[in-house]
């Protein structure tokens, strides 16, 4: 059936989702890549190639009927749509409605429409750090790590992960079997990464100085967006070809981006765009904690008239200062994953985009 497969990507207009769509559209075994996104952008359809058509539908994964209509005739679903919030600006019930309720809708649609393959984009935030801020150093997919997840966003991703894995092996309406697997992304950088835009503009506004919160020896994985997308493409294809290997499995995203001394990794990314940028001073935990509390107090006092957006939350601060890293080759062993882009290529591509974006009015006018 090669050349006739129809893939659907939820959230395919997002930062990671768009790159997944771009790489899927270059695979000659796929006839159509459908994008289902609440923030649909028609320009994504321009990713169509000679053999693969990209179509975009605006819709909300909380709406089961819209989702069912979009998934008619689909063979493989890559579920990447999510409401992402690290700063505590979105109420928990909204996060849960999208990230958990939306995932339940996708799974139900797969069963009703007999779509046998589902790949779910999760996050390292689904694992930790926990509320005790216990570090995880160079773990892997089998590492034992317990405790309540610190970030509200991470809690919802953990819930969604669980229902996706529990759905593996469910019976479809045509008598077939649903096969699911999970990919856990971490800190994803590259073109259109909002957090890098913020850091870059902040450093430039401070005369090229990049201050930082985490201790310099903090370990955290970063992965280039092109490699994250490539892992999705390979995993989805292999889930079809080798379900006995991939079904029910979880895979961390990785490439050769350094994971130790995370602040220095970010400095390398930013200084590749602007060599004048330099590392500034470490901001002590207690000082930032007090600033967060002060900001919360000001918000409470001014709430009848003005509610400034939180710039940071305590759960996010705890996440930033806690080492949480992994080392694994599971994706390579199970489905032959090798990064498409080296660390040097990833850094240069990101730098080129940052330099171009820094000169655009859209970037200077961006709201946090």
Known catalytic residues are 153
Give the three-class secondary structure for 322: coil
- Rounded to a whole number of angstroms, the CA Rg of the chain reads 21
As a whole number of angstroms, the distance between CA 71 and CA 67 comes to 6
As a whole number of angstroms, the distance between CA 103 and CA 59 comes to 14
Give the three-class secondary structure for 58: strand
Q: Phi-psi category of 129—alpha, beta or left, where left has phi over 0 and alpha has psi -120 to 50?
A: beta
* Structural contact between residues 215 and 286, judged by C-beta atoms closer than 8 angstroms: no
Give the residue carrying structure tokens 């096969």: 179
Cα–Cα separations (whole angstroms), residue 261 to 3, 185, 213, 217, 327: 45, 19, 12, 5, 15
| CA nearest to 178, candidates 124, 233, 120 | 120
| CA nearest to 125, candidates 101, 141, 149, 104 | 149
- Which helix (H) or strand (E) element contains residue 185? strand 179-185
As a whole number of angstroms, the distance between CA 247 and CA 62 comes to 25
Counting beta carbons within 10 angstroms of the beta carbon of residue 90, is it exposed (0 to 12), middle (13 to 18) or buried (19 or more)?
middle
| CA nearest to 179, candidates 235, 127, 219 | 235
**Cis preceding linkage at 129, omega within 30:** yes
* Structural contact between residues 261 and 218, judged by C-beta atoms closer than 8 angstroms: yes
Give the three-class secondary structure for 343: helix
* Structural contact between residues 83 and 124, judged by C-beta atoms closer than 8 angstroms: no
């Amino acid at each position: 059936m090669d050349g006739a497969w129809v893939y659907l990507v939820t959230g395919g207009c997002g930062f990671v989702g768009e790159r997944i769509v771009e790489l899927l559209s270059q695979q000659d075994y796929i006839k159509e890549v459908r994008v289902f996104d609440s923030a649909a952008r028609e320009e994504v359809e321009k990713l169509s190639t000679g053999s693969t058509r990209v179509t975009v539908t605006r819709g909300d994964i909380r709406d089961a009927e819209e989702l069912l209509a979009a998934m008619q005739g689909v063979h493989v679903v890559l579920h990447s749509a999510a409401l992402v919030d690290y700063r505590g600006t979105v109420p928990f019930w909204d996060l849960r409605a999208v990230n958990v309720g939306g995932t339940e809708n996708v799974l139900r649609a797969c069963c009703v429409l007999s779509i046998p393959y589902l790949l779910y984009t999760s996050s390292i935030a689904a694992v930790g750090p926990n509320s005790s801020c216990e570090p995880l150093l160079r773990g892997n997919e089998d590492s034992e790590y317990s405790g309540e997840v610190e970030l509200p966003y991470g809690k919802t991703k953990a819930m969604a992960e669980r229902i996706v894995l529990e759905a593996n092996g469910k019976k479809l309406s045509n008598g077939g079997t649903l096969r699911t697997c999970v990919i856990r992304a971490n800190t994803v950088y590259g073109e259109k990464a909002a957090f890098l835009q913020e850091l870059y503009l902040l450093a430039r506004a401070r005369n090229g100085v990049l201050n930082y919160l985490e201790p310099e020896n903090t370990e955290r994985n970063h992965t280039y967006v092109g490699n994250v997308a490539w892992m999705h493409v390979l995993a989805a294809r292999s889930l079809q070809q080798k379900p006995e290997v991939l079904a029910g499995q979880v895979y961390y995203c990785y490439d050769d981006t350094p994971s130790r001394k995370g602040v220095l990794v970010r400095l390398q990314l930013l200084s590749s765009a602007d060599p004048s940028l330099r590392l500034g001073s470490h901001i002590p935990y207690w000082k930032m904690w007090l600033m967060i509390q002060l900001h919360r107090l000001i918000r409470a006092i001014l709430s009848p008239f003005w509610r400034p957006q939180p710039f940071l939350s305590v759960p996010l601060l705890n996440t930033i200062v806690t080492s949480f890293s992994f080392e694994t080759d599971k994706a390579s062993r199970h489905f032959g994953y090798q990064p498409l882009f080296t660390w040097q290529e990833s850094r240069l591509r990101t730098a080129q985009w940052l330099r171009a974006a820094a000169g655009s009015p859209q970037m200077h006018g961006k709201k946090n």
